[in-house]
Amino acid sequence: MPEHRRHARTPLEIRIGYSKLNSFFADYTKNISKGGTFIKTKQPMPVGTQFLFRLALPAPSGGFELAGEVVQVEMAGAGAGMGIRFAWRSEAERTSFEQAVEKLMAESLGPVAAKRLLEVAQGVVRK
Protein backbone atom coordinates (compact mmCIF):
# COMPACT_ATOMS: atom_id res chain seq x y z
CA MET A 1 0.00 0.00 0.00
CA PRO A 2 1.53 3.37 -0.96
CA GLU A 3 2.50 5.79 1.78
CA HIS A 4 0.69 9.15 1.55
CA ARG A 5 1.81 10.76 4.79
CA ARG A 6 3.64 14.08 4.61
CA HIS A 7 5.52 13.54 7.87
CA ALA A 8 7.63 10.63 9.09
CA ARG A 9 6.13 8.66 11.97
CA THR A 10 7.91 6.92 14.77
CA PRO A 11 6.38 4.25 16.99
CA LEU A 12 6.06 5.92 20.35
CA GLU A 13 3.71 5.34 23.28
CA ILE A 14 2.78 8.63 24.95
CA ARG A 15 -0.11 9.24 27.35
CA ILE A 16 -2.86 11.40 25.88
CA GLY A 17 -5.92 12.85 27.60
CA TYR A 18 -9.11 14.13 26.00
CA SER A 19 -12.79 14.68 26.72
CA LYS A 20 -15.76 13.20 24.91
CA LEU A 21 -19.13 14.59 25.99
CA ASN A 22 -18.88 14.65 29.80
CA SER A 23 -16.31 11.85 30.07
CA PHE A 24 -12.53 12.14 30.28
CA PHE A 25 -10.35 9.54 28.54
CA ALA A 26 -6.68 8.73 28.97
CA ASP A 27 -5.27 6.55 26.21
CA TYR A 28 -1.88 6.12 24.55
CA THR A 29 -0.47 6.94 21.15
CA LYS A 30 0.68 4.17 18.84
CA ASN A 31 2.86 6.46 16.75
CA ILE A 32 3.45 10.15 16.28
CA SER A 33 4.68 12.55 13.64
CA LYS A 34 4.89 16.30 13.21
CA GLY A 35 1.47 16.26 11.57
CA GLY A 36 -0.55 13.78 13.59
CA THR A 37 -0.79 10.74 15.80
CA PHE A 38 -2.71 7.49 16.16
CA ILE A 39 -4.50 7.07 19.50
CA LYS A 40 -5.08 3.51 20.63
CA THR A 41 -8.63 3.33 21.96
CA LYS A 42 -11.60 0.98 21.89
CA GLN A 43 -13.92 4.02 21.76
CA PRO A 44 -12.78 6.11 18.78
CA MET A 45 -14.64 9.27 17.87
CA PRO A 46 -16.21 9.54 14.40
CA VAL A 47 -14.17 10.78 11.43
CA GLY A 48 -14.44 14.57 11.23
CA THR A 49 -14.66 15.10 15.00
CA GLN A 50 -12.60 18.11 16.08
CA PHE A 51 -11.40 18.29 19.66
CA LEU A 52 -8.69 19.46 22.08
CA PHE A 53 -6.42 16.98 23.76
CA ARG A 54 -3.39 16.96 26.04
CA LEU A 55 -0.31 15.07 24.93
CA ALA A 56 2.02 14.33 27.86
CA LEU A 57 5.61 14.49 26.62
CA PRO A 58 8.74 13.77 28.63
CA ALA A 59 10.54 16.75 30.19
CA PRO A 60 11.60 19.43 29.39
CA SER A 61 8.58 20.11 27.13
CA GLY A 62 6.21 18.43 29.59
CA GLY A 63 3.29 18.38 27.22
CA PHE A 64 1.10 20.18 24.77
CA GLU A 65 -2.58 20.98 24.55
CA LEU A 66 -3.39 20.53 20.87
CA ALA A 67 -6.34 20.82 18.55
CA GLY A 68 -6.93 17.90 16.22
CA GLU A 69 -9.36 16.24 13.88
CA VAL A 70 -10.17 12.54 13.57
CA VAL A 71 -9.23 11.51 10.02
CA GLN A 72 -9.22 7.70 10.35
CA VAL A 73 -10.95 5.14 12.54
CA GLU A 74 -9.92 1.51 13.05
CA MET A 75 -12.32 -0.77 14.92
CA ALA A 76 -10.38 -4.07 14.70
CA GLY A 77 -9.18 -5.65 17.97
CA ALA A 78 -5.67 -4.70 19.11
CA GLY A 79 -5.36 -2.16 16.27
CA ALA A 80 -8.45 -0.21 17.34
CA GLY A 81 -8.09 3.53 17.52
CA MET A 82 -8.23 6.79 15.62
CA GLY A 83 -5.84 8.71 13.43
CA ILE A 84 -5.59 12.38 14.37
CA ARG A 85 -4.39 15.26 12.19
CA PHE A 86 -3.11 18.18 14.26
CA ALA A 87 -4.71 21.60 13.70
CA TRP A 88 -2.30 24.37 14.65
CA ARG A 89 -3.60 27.50 16.34
CA SER A 90 -0.38 29.38 15.58
CA GLU A 91 2.92 28.98 13.78
CA ALA A 92 4.73 29.17 17.13
CA GLU A 93 2.69 26.23 18.45
CA ARG A 94 3.50 24.18 15.34
CA THR A 95 7.21 24.98 15.49
CA SER A 96 7.50 24.20 19.20
CA PHE A 97 5.71 20.89 18.77
CA GLU A 98 7.73 19.86 15.71
CA GLN A 99 10.96 20.47 17.61
CA ALA A 100 9.71 18.31 20.50
CA VAL A 101 8.75 15.49 18.10
CA GLU A 102 12.15 15.64 16.37
CA LYS A 103 13.82 15.33 19.78
CA LEU A 104 11.62 12.34 20.70
CA MET A 105 12.44 10.69 17.37
CA ALA A 106 16.17 11.17 17.97
CA GLU A 107 15.88 9.71 21.49
CA SER A 108 13.76 6.78 20.30
CA LEU A 109 15.54 5.90 17.04
CA GLY A 110 18.97 7.45 17.52
CA PRO A 111 20.07 10.71 15.92
CA VAL A 112 21.28 9.25 12.61
CA ALA A 113 18.15 7.15 11.94
CA ALA A 114 15.84 10.00 13.00
CA LYS A 115 17.62 12.47 10.72
CA ARG A 116 17.41 10.06 7.79
CA LEU A 117 13.71 9.34 8.43
CA LEU A 118 12.94 13.07 8.53
CA GLU A 119 14.94 13.66 5.33
CA VAL A 120 13.05 10.91 3.50
CA ALA A 121 9.70 12.33 4.67
CA GLN A 122 10.71 15.79 3.44
CA GLY A 123 11.88 14.43 0.08
CA VAL A 124 15.55 15.19 0.72
CA VAL A 125 17.70 12.80 -1.29
CA ARG A 126 21.30 12.13 -0.32
CA LYS A 127 23.93 11.80 -3.00
Q: Name the phi and psi angles at 70, rounded to 5.
A: -70, 125
Which pLDDT does position 46 carry in this prediction? Answer: 93
Which pLDDT does position 120 carry in this prediction? Answer: 57
| Global pTM value | 0.70
Which pLDDT does position 1 carry in this prediction? Answer: 35
User: Cβ neighbours of residue 32 under 8 Å, at least 6 residues apart?
Assistant: 9, 10, 12, 14, 38, 101, 104
Rounded to whole angstroms, the Cα distance separating 80 from 72 reads: 11
At 83, the amino acid letter reads G
Please identify, in words, the CATH class of the domain defined by 10-121.
mainly beta
Which pLDDT does position 127 carry in this prediction? Answer: 43
Rounded to whole angstroms, the Cα distance separating 64 from 78 reads: 26
Which pLDDT does position 28 carry in this prediction? Answer: 81
Would you kindly state where each structural domain of the chain is located, as residue ranges? Answer: 10-121
For residue 83, list its beta bridge partners. Answer: 38, 72
Instruction: Profile the chain (127 residues) by mean pLDDT over runs of 10 residues.
Output: 52 74 78 85 90 75 83 88 91 86 74 64 51
Rounded to whole angstroms, the Cα distance separating 45 from 125 reads: 38
Which pLDDT does position 47 carry in this prediction? Answer: 95
